[in-house]
Amino acid sequence: MPQETSQSSHLPVRHSPCTAVVGLQWGDEGKGKVVDLIAPRFGAVVRFNGGANAGHSVVVGGVRFALHLIPSGILYPDKAAVIGNGVVVDPEALLRECDGLTTRGVSVAGLTISDRAHVVMPYHKVEDELREKLVAGDAGESIGTTKRGIGPCYADKAHRATAIRMGELLDPAALRVKLEMICRVKKALLGSAGADLDAGALTAWAGALAERLRPHVTDTTYALHDMLRAGKKLLFEGANAALLDVDHGTHPYVTSSSCTSLGIPAGTGVPAQYLGEVIGVVKAYTSRVGNGPMPTELLNDLGQTIRERGREFGTTTGRPRRVGWLDLVAVRYSAMISGATSIALTLLDVLSGLPELNVCIGYRRIGDANGAVSDRFTPDAEALRRVEPVYRTFPGFAQDVTGVRSRAELPAEARAYIEFIEEFVGVPVRLIGVGPDRVQTIVEDL
Ligand code: IMP
């Protein structure tokens, strides 16, 4: 934790009104649980990137909630839940999620959506699927997207003229005119694959959804600044993760948004200097869904054991996740670009019973056993494919840790593992997850 000094010309971290929770690996680190745990201290929980590709699970009193677009803070009735302008919103998926929460007794009255967030249209999902097929060809490799239309929607955002923002959904007459143009452009670009583009049908589809979403759509930028002026604190909930970031991740096997804390200002309209704490969430091992290099991947029985113990199957797509040893070279890189001030280490319980634990502390070129070891991450996918991990091995711990509630009670081997993470990354671990439930957490001065 950076020390506050009276000479400091910066906002002291402890007094900064905003905190971020972001993933430091390839996603699914357990960000939802961390957000849910600390949300009571904040006035609002705010999403700034991604869309329904994310899957945040929170278990409260044995009941599991899977959230995709709605910030995890929705589970607290007195918190505002804000979907910022950097998010791409699938209105159908959003309403499904709202209905799912309402039927389980969770009110969505506190949900607001930026009128500047872009809309994922049905044709974006068709295009996502088609692009994946075309990119893969007969024998090639696609990105392995979630097929939720994320890339094509962000592409339209960059194209501008063919993009639709949430505010535009609320004016059916103007939307109809715009959709005529969009359908004309897309038919010309997609050829026979654009057969389903019908401006009338799309306007009717959007209209029905818009009427239900109308009370929630607003200028969230002003709303967030009003909250800050009223002395409220904001919690930013990152979706996806640093290594999937469109600029800083393992390109091209990434998503299409800014997933680190760097995405917060642009994705919400809240400037960077309001941000103090950045909690980087790190799984005690590594997982990845979709294609792309993963140096520490375990393609053996041990990998299968960890996958089953960690229930490593996608919250959004159900796909089995690839799993591997903790890659600290990658985590240190992600902590650096996210400005992580603390680490929340999750799923430690999954490792109990393994005789040995490996952590990656460097990379060496494949086939060059005597070559130089680099401790720098390489975010270029092809370069990352050419390296193999250099491990440091730690003794495992046999004890079931799911009932442990303080670091001192953890087995010495688990403590040594955690201390090494802190030392290597240079960031303190202030939260340790030892099970899926809210209560199965060790929290230290966070
Ligand atoms: P897209 O975001 O659907 O375009 O997918 C791009 C890549 O990001 C694929 O490898 C996905 O599996 C991955 N991805 C997107 N969102 C998440 C997430 O929340 N967790 C894990 N992987 C994700």
| Ligand 1 atom nearest residue 287's Cα | 21
Contact 87, 50 (CB under 8 A): yes
| Ligand 1 atom nearest residue 146's Cα | 3
- The pLDDT value recorded for residue 60 is 74
Both structure tokens of 367: 């086939």
| Ligand 1 atom nearest residue 257's Cα | 2
Please give the distance, rounded to the nearest whole angstrom, from the Cα atom of residue 343 to the centre of ligand 1: 22
Please give the distance, rounded to the nearest whole angstrom, from the Cα atom of residue 407 to the centre of ligand 1: 33
| Ligand 1 atom nearest residue 317's Cα | 12
Residue nearest to atom 8 of ligand 1 (CA): 255
Residue nearest to atom 11 of ligand 1 (CA): 145
| Ligand 1 atom nearest residue 147's Cα | 3
Both structure tokens of 208: 């029905």
Residue nearest to atom 20 of ligand 1 (CA): 27
- The pLDDT value recorded for residue 80 is 96
- The pLDDT value recorded for residue 15 is 64
Each of the 446 residues of the chain gets a pLDDT tens digit; together they read 333 333 333 334 456 899 999 999 999 999 988 998 999 999 999 999 999 998 887 777 778 888 999 998 898 989 999 999 999 999 999 999 999 999 999 999 999 999 999 999 999 999 999 999 999 988 788 999 999 999 999 999 999 999 999 999 999 999 999 999 999 999 998 877 776 899 999 999 999 999 999 999 999 999 999 999 999 999 999 999 999 999 999 999 999 999 999 999 999 999 999 999 999 999 999 999 989 999 999 999 999 999 999 999 987 778 899 999 999 999 999 999 999 999 999 999 999 999 999 999 999 999 888 889 999 999 999 999 999 999 999 999 999 999 999 999 999 999 999 999 999 999 999 999 999 888 999 998 77
What is the C-alpha to C-alpha distance for residues 248 and 262, in angstroms, rounded to an integer? Answer: 10
Q: Which of 28, 90, 131, 240 to mutate to test the pocket of ligand 1 (most atoms within 8 A of CB)?
A: 240
Q: Which of 247, 242, 253 is nearest to 383 (CA)?
A: 253
Please give the distance, rounded to the nearest whole angstrom, from the Cα atom of residue 294 to the centre of ligand 1: 14
CA–centroid distance for 148 within its chain: 15
Q: Which of 24, 35, 53 to mutate to test the pocket of ligand 1 (most atoms within 8 A of CB)?
A: 53
Quick check: helix, strand or coil at residue 81? strand
Please give the distance, rounded to the nearest whole angstrom, from the Cα atom of residue 219 to the centre of ligand 1: 28
Burial level of 395, CB count in 10 A (0-12/13-18/19+)? Answer: middle
- The pLDDT value recorded for residue 57 is 77
Contact 154, 89 (CB under 8 A): no
Please give the distance, rounded to the nearest whole angstrom, from the Cα atom of residue 309 to the centre of ligand 1: 22
Residue 412 neighbours by CB distance under 10 Å: 9
Q: Which of 154, 289, 312 to mutate to test the pocket of ligand 1 (most atoms within 8 A of CB)?
A: 289
* Ligand 1 pocket, Cβ-based, cut-off 6 angstroms: 26-28, 53-55, 143-146, 148, 150-151, 239-240, 244, 253, 255-256, 289-290
- The pLDDT value recorded for residue 6 is 34
How long, in residues, is the chain?
A: 446
Going from the C-alpha of 135 to that of each of 18, 398, 404, 438, the distances in angstroms are: 40, 45, 47, 41
| Ligand 1 atom nearest residue 148's Cα | 3
Contact 250, 58 (CB under 8 A): no
Residue with tokens 């194209």: 159
Both structure tokens of 434: 């030892």
Determine if the peptide bond prior to 252 is cis (ω within 30°).
yes
Helices (H), 104-159: 122-136, 150-159
Residue with tokens 């642009």: 266
Please give the distance, rounded to the nearest whole angstrom, from the Cα atom of residue 289 to the centre of ligand 1: 7
Residues identified as active-site: 28, 56
Please give the distance, rounded to the nearest whole angstrom, from the Cα atom of residue 430 to the centre of ligand 1: 27
Q: Which of 72, 146, 286 to mutate to test the pocket of ligand 1 (most atoms within 8 A of CB)?
A: 146
Residue nearest to atom 9 of ligand 1 (CA): 145
Contact 151, 254 (CB under 8 A): no
Please give the distance, rounded to the nearest whole angstrom, from the Cα atom of residue 421 to the centre of ligand 1: 26
